[in-house]
Amino acid sequence: VDSTNNYAKTIAASGAPHGTAVIADTQTGGRGRLGRSFLSPPGAGLYLSVVLRPQVDSAQALLLTSAAAVAVCRAVDRFVKAPAQIKWVNDVYLGGKKLCGILTEAVSDLESGHVEFVVIGIGINLTCAAFPEELKEIAVSLEEYREGKVGRGALAAAVLEELEQVCGQLDTAAFMQEYKRRSCVIGKRVKAIRAGISREVFIEDIDDTGALLVRNEAGEPECINSGEISIRFF
Ligand code: BTN
């Protein structure tokens, strides 16, 4: 496939049921957040997209992004000893490098607020061997934290199990405590980038909607709920 998310969206539009999973060995057009590409060489990772039809309003559905990050961390913890951490908004890190990216896409009715379906796309590195040098500097794989190989089937099963758990908690957002506990950005000075504008902020906390509570350069409190942050320069 070009992208498991594209494939999942196509079959979801023709009625694929809640819980349908699409898994590829490789992707020719793997997609990341903010229009970026996601390198997906054959056999190098788990490339998984899940179709969800959550029976919640759009505000609660937004929490799926944070929920998916927690689910991936719990699944990764089953395979390695180092604790999986979350870099806002939903990258999963091991030892300070990116292990997994998550791309959440939704189709909803803007007038009623009804969410027709959500596709959660998850890419977890199993090996970085085929990555270019500049990517190897910022990416990590499960292979580096484990003696034996991690089977993609077993990893996919673990992710799907954990995803099912957290998806049942969208009404209470019970997983947000764990999201915060696993965050590697709280208490850090970072570069916040939104609409091409970058500035330095200090992250004080993350609220229960997943938004960053920060102090800006003028020392004023602010809430950031879109864009991205960079922790590499501080
Ligand atoms: C990111 O890091 O910006 C998000 C990356 C998401 C990659 C996964 S791999 C499976 C699914 N299919 C895609 O095209 N993207 C997601």
Which tens digits make up the pLDDT trace of 101-150? 999 999 998 888 899 999 999 999 999 999 999 999 999 999 999 988 89
Does the beta carbon of 47 sit less than 6 angstroms from any atom of ligand 1? yes
Does the beta carbon of 36 sit less than 6 angstroms from any atom of ligand 1? yes
Q: Whose CA is nearest to atom 11 of ligand 1?
A: 121
- pLDDT tens digits, 18-72: 999 999 999 999 999 999 999 999 999 999 999 999 998 888 999 999 999 999 9
Burial, 63: exposed, middle or buried (Cβ in 10 Å; 0-12, 13-18, 19+)?
A: buried
| pTM for the model | 0.96
Q: Which atom of ligand 1 is nearest to the CA of 30?
A: 14
Does the beta carbon of 227 sit less than 6 angstroms from any atom of ligand 1? no
Residue 234: is its pLDDT beyond 70? no
Helices (H), the chain: 4-13, 58-62, 64-77, 133-136, 152-167, 176-182
What is the C-alpha separation between 9 and 117, in angstroms, rounded?
A: 9
Q: Whose CA is nearest to atom 2 of ligand 1?
A: 101
Q: Which atom of ligand 1 is nearest to the CA of 6?
A: 14
- Please list, residue by residue across 100-118, b when 16 or more beta carbons sit within 10 angstroms of its beta carbon and e when fewer do: bbbbbbbeeeeeeeebebb
Does the beta carbon of 30 sit less than 6 angstroms from any atom of ligand 1? yes
Distance 27 CA to ligand 1 centre (A): 10
